[in-house]
Amino acid sequence: EAAEKAGFEHFMMKEIYEQPKAIRDTLNSVVKDGVIDFTDIDITEEEIKKYSQIYIVACGSAWHVGVEAQYVIEELAQIPVRVELASEFRYREMPLVKDGLVIVISQSGETADTLAAMRMAKDKGLATLAVVNVIGSSIAREADKVFYTLAGPEISVATTKGYSAQLAALDCIAVQFAKVKGLITDEQYSYYISELQTIPEKIEKILQDKERIQWFAAKYANAHDVFFVGRGVDYAVCLEGSLKLKEISYIHSEAYAAGELKHGTISLIEDNILVIGVLTQSKLYEKTVSNMMECKSRGAYLMGVTNYGNYEMEDKVDFTVYVPKVDEHFMGSLAVIPLQLLGYYVSVAKGLDVDKPRNLAKSVTVE
Ligand code: G6P
């Protein structure tokens, strides 16, 4: 096992480090000569033009990818997207749009609820596209079309590279659908693709600063409650950051759309509660800052994750983490990295079993 960890103490950290490669390989599998080519996935331009609705169905972190992709697809490709938890979707009597596309996202390709939800959608006559990591898995075999993420085998129960590769795949779908529907120019198309291609090296840069997160994690290892707040894409990042923390460190945490705090959650904020804000979306930046200030005035300790350039953040919050800039639609791929590291280091500081957290399984093949 030590050999498999390639010098890392845990699979999770090894896989965090494999994210640049996972994203690069996934992008390279569809980007040919600077354009996205879905021939291997077998989606034609006619089909893309026909889809009037997208349903994204998944569980766990894959569902968080769906929440993030919803913002990106709706904004770039102007197709309404619904994101559904597979365990809910499969039992709902919801009217489905006949020319809708169901995108199921699953690292393992074996999650029971996701598989059942996909079968239900197929039975109802909808087209299914699976974004799957494991080749030949049940979901990959049964889906109409498959977009393989090339993250390689993921061992740690808490997903990192699987998640990041899924996000890259969904971003490609958003950009390609926007292009085929004539919503973006050739220049914009090339720009989005080249921005996506910068993500791996930017993640490498974030990882060089990991000791700062390690230091901060040691300070907060005994926290009982942590809140994550953000808006838009940043809210989706919060969902994933919160899950990473709670699943491996056993600290209660919640992710809130920042504007929703005032509808209840803020009553939980008291002295020294850690509130982590993710602020990468320029048009929402001030809004989230003001929500965080409301927490600060009630005693919260604030951590902010934002992009380089927003240096006034340091005057507002107690601990700032900067990530490089990329087109704002894709900022989530960078903002999530410090949060993965935070979950990891808190778990290590508490002496917990990082790779095999209690009660959890890598792949949930029973209902
Ligand atoms: C389990 C894993 C999660 C994962 C979820 C969905 O709960 O612990 O990390 O996000 O299943 O798994 P899938 O293989 O369908 O992506």
**pLDDT (tens digit per residue) in 311-353:** 999 999 999 999 999 999 999 999 999 999 999 999 999 999 8
Number of C-beta neighbours around residue 264 at 10 A: 9
Q: Which atom belonging to ligand 1 lies closest to the Cα atom of 60?
A: 10
- The β-bridge relationship of strands 35-36 and 31-32 is antiparallel
The β-bridge partners of 313 are: none
Q: Which residues contact 44 (CB under 8 A, 6 or more apart)?
A: none
Task: Categorize the per-residue pLDDT at 106 as very low, low, confident or very high, splitting at 50, 70 and 90.
Answer: very high
The β-bridge partners of 279 are: 306
pLDDT for res 266: 84
Residue 186 pLDDT more than 80? yes
Q: How far is the CA of 363 from the centre of ligand 1 (A)?
A: 6
Residue 67 pLDDT more than 90? yes
Residue 1 pLDDT more than 80? no
pLDDT for res 17: 97
**Amino acid identity for residue 272 in this structure:** N
pLDDT for res 37: 97
What angle (nearest 5°) sits at the alpha carbon of residue 72, between those of residues 34 and 97?
110
Distance from chain centroid for Cα 131? 14
- What's the chain's length in residues? 367
Tell me the torsion sign for CA atoms 74, 54, 340, 358.
positive
The β-bridge partners of 319 are: 303
Residue 367 pLDDT more than 90? no
Residues whose beta carbon lies within 6 Å of some atom of ligand 1: 59-62, 106-108, 111, 114, 157, 159, 360, 362-364
Q: Which of 56, 85, 111 to mutate to test the pocket of ligand 1 (most atoms within 8 A of CB)?
A: 111
Asked if 354 and 10 touch (Cβ cutoff 8 Å), the reply is yes
Q: How far is the CA of 84 from the centre of ligand 1 (A)?
A: 15
Q: How far is the CA of 63 from the centre of ligand 1 (A)?
A: 9
Q: 195-233, pLDDT tens digit by residue?
A: 999 999 999 999 999 999 999 999 989 899 999 999 999
pLDDT for res 131: 98
CA distance 218 to 215: 5
Asked if 41 and 30 touch (Cβ cutoff 8 Å), the reply is yes
The β-bridge partners of 12 are: none
CA distance 116 to 100: 18
Number of C-beta neighbours around residue 93 at 10 A: 4
Residue 98 pLDDT more than 80? yes
- Any idea which of 121-125, 172-176, 269-273 has the lowest mean pLDDT? 269-273
Task: Categorize the per-residue pLDDT at 6 as very low, low, confident or very high, splitting at 50, 70 and 90.
Answer: confident
* pTM score, whole prediction: 0.96
Residue nearest to atom 5 of ligand 1 (CA): 60
pLDDT for res 365: 83
CA distance 312 to 224: 29
Q: Which atom belonging to ligand 1 lies closest to the Cα atom of 139?
A: 15
pLDDT, averaged across the chain: 95
Task: Report which secondary-structure segment, H or E, holds 361.
Answer: none
Q: Which of 57, 105, 118, 362 to mutate to test the pocket of ligand 1 (most atoms within 8 A of CB)?
A: 362
Residue 262 pLDDT more than 80? yes
Q: 240-257, pLDDT tens digit by residue?
A: 999 999 999 999 999 999
Name residue, tokens 């990295």.
337
Q: What is the token pair recorded at 308?
A: 């380089």
Asked if 281 and 233 touch (Cβ cutoff 8 Å), the reply is yes
DSSP conformation letters of 110-160: --HHHHHHHHHHHHTT-EEEEEESSTT-HHHHHSSEEEE-------SSS-S
Q: Which atom belonging to ligand 1 lies closest to the Cα atom of 61?
A: 10
pLDDT for res 14: 96
Q: How far is the CA of 239 from the centre of ligand 1 (A)?
A: 14
CA distance 322 to 76: 26
Name residue, tokens 């927003």.
310
Residues labelled catalytic: 362
Asked if 134 and 107 touch (Cβ cutoff 8 Å), the reply is yes
Asked if 109 and 93 touch (Cβ cutoff 8 Å), the reply is no
Q: How far is the CA of 152 from the centre of ligand 1 (A)?
A: 15
pLDDT for res 356: 87
CA 298 → CA 8, 20, 151, 279, distances in Å?
40, 39, 42, 20
Residue 3 pLDDT more than 80? no
Q: 140-173, pLDDT tens digit by residue?
A: 999 999 999 999 999 898 999 999 999 999 999 9
Residue 264 pLDDT more than 90? no
